[in-house]
A and B are shown apart, each in its own frame.
Chain A
Amino acid sequence: MKITGKRSITWFLKIAVDLVLVINIIVLIALPFILNAIYNSPALQPGQSGERVSTLWLINEIPDESYAFMLIFLYFSGICTAFMLFSLHRVLRNLADGRILDHANASALKHLSVACGSLVSAFIVKIIFYNTFLTMFCFFIFIVLALFSLILSEVFRQGAVVKEENELTI
């Protein structure tokens, strides 16, 4: 199976990313309802210790005053992930169209890195106020992803410069 071009792995991955992006937007729209459902879930009602424990590792303790924080945090991270997925969609679309060493890819990967960086900053705030194992795990994952996409964007930029120079060598 082909890696890039039409009907390739890249093309199928682009469809998967598009699907996740649509789900991301739907979840963003329905976020207050979803969060309400989570807060009212019987599994999260106070136990013997009087604390509600999330089985989703979303938050260890969910006092009612954390609702506003979680809503803002999830909205911000949802917008960041939507932006990340859109940047990824742009890169995969270009690769599927055969535009590989292109400045547009370098720019999209830089945007992806910025979105990951923003997400990392949101996770830092969450670690300070409502830390969990999953939050720290995501924090490190997104740091690696932000730095990796920044490096990859530079690789694509240098590749595009070399390609341009090669094309303009007669």
Chain B
Amino acid sequence: MAIRINLDVMMAKRKMSLNELSEKVGITLANLSILKTSKAKAIRFSTLEEICKALDCQPGDILEFVPDEENGGR
């Protein structure tokens, strides 16, 4: 996966739990968990907007591009 999700890092910085974020963003815990564990195949702009609003951050703070070699060829 070339795109890494740093949702847990931002959540730790904002001291926000998964439950709290799920309530603020309006998506289920299961979907948030899929996103956090990088199992998601795509993210809607509307979801990204809500996450950025809830965590008071930029999309770049959550999403990071990692070249495949650096990623261990995963």
Binding site for B on A (CB under 8 A): 164-165, 168-170
CB distance from A162 to the nearest CB of B (A): 11
Alpha-carbon distance A169/B27, docked complex (angstroms): 12
Interface class of chain A by DSSP = mixed
Query: How many residues of B are counted as interface, with CB atoms below 8 angstroms from the partner's CB atoms?
Result: 12
Count A-B contacts at CB 8 Å: 23
5 closest A-B pairs by CB: A168-B41, A169-B42, A170-B35, A170-B40, A170-B31
CB distance from B33 to the nearest CB of A (A): 10
Alpha-carbon distance A164/B41, docked complex (angstroms): 9
Alpha-carbon distance A165/B31, docked complex (angstroms): 13
Q: Which residue of B lies closest to A168 (CB)?
A: B41
Chain B residues near A164 (CB-CB < 8 A) = 41
Alpha-carbon distance A168/B34, docked complex (angstroms): 8
CB distance from A168 to the nearest CB of B (A): 4
Contacts beyond the supplied A165-B41, A165-B42, A170-B35: 8 A-B pairs with Cβ under 8 Å:
A164-B41, A168-B40, A169-B40, A169-B41, A170-B31, A170-B32, A170-B40, A170-B42
